[in-house]
Amino acid sequence: MKSSLYVAREPDADGFIHYPEAEHQVWHTLISRQLKVIEGRACQEYLDGIEQLALPHDRIPQLGELNRVLERTTGWNVARVPALIPFQTFFELLASKRFPVATFIRRPEELDYLQEPDIFHEVFGHCPLLTNPWFAEFTHTYGKLGLKASKEERVYLARLYWMTIEFGLVDTAQGRRIYGGGILSSPKETVYCLSEQPEHQPFSPLEAMRTPYRIDILQPLYFVLPELKQLFELAHQDIMALVHQAMQLGLHTPKFPPKAA
């Protein structure tokens, strides 16, 4: 596992995390900017979740505030984690309906892009949809499958996660919208993903698992769900049978250049 330059903040004896004022400022800048960018681009289920969470604009939220809403809506919680966690820990948390949140926030010089998931990415990008029963069910199922999967199977599951929970799009009556948290926490990708530049493909779990990706570029391809409820339906399919089918068929040719050495 790679090491991180960031260190997650620890809570005090009462479970309260004290962030310096400069970090609250970063949160304020990020959330103010991103709420404007996602207008007319985020799916309604995500916007409903934003409304329910009532995220503060002037400070980083405390995890307990999020938990009160998530527990009431879908029975989920967020769990404080260090900057980077092993796959095993990640699957264990999701399998027990706990979503990992690293309690650090990016520095001002990394405002637009950060490879590691910080508290803004996790809370603003993912927590709103964890109030949605379809999305929550799929995420829970994914955690349970990952816990039992082999190392090789997990690589295929990771691609499914990437193409849905992180970078998924959905068609709605109002037009194409975003539900992936990796997009919704990025101003550049929020605009780019719905433009003519990238490729859009109807969602297929098998194709998603066979599609290579890179974490450090704008995605060349996005998979589009016909409706968000399909995630719930996918949670009740035999996903591991699809994993084994994808493993037999092998990967597609990457749609991006290899990373420079």
* CATH (domain of 169): 1.10.800.10
Confidence check: pLDDT of 2 > 60: no
In a domain, 2, yes or no: no
Cα 85 vs. chain centroid, distance in angstroms?
15
pLDDT higher than threshold 90 for residue 162: yes
Domain, as residue range, for 212: 21-249
Q: What is the pLDDT of residue 259?
A: 82
Residue 1 inside a domain? The answer is no
Helix (H) / strand (E) element for 17: namely: none
Counted residue by residue, the chain has a size of 261
Amino acid code (one letter) for 201:
Q
Examine residue 11 and state whether it is found in any structural domain, yes or no: no
Mean pLDDT across the stretch 135-163?
98
Number of domains composing the chain = 1
**10 within a domain of the structure (yes/no):** no
Mean pLDDT, the chain, integer:
96
Assigned domain for 8 exists: no
Is 46 contained in some domain? Answer: yes
Under DSSP, the state recorded for 77 is E
Q: Using alpha carbons only, what angle is made at residue 28 by residues 27 and 29, rounded to the nearest 5 degrees? A: 90
Query: Cα(first)–Cα(last) distance of the chain, in Å?
Result: 19
Residue 54: is its pLDDT beyond 60? yes
Rg of the chain over Cα atoms, rounded to whole angstroms, equals 18
Give the pLDDT of residue 113: 84
Q: Is residue 162 part of a domain?
A: yes
- In the predicted model, is pLDDT for residue 3 greater than 70? no
Per DSSP bridges, beta strands 77-81 and 98-102 are: parallel
Model pLDDT, residue 261: 64
CA of residue 152 relative to chain centroid, distance: 22
pTM: 0.95
Q: Is residue 120 part of a domain?
A: yes
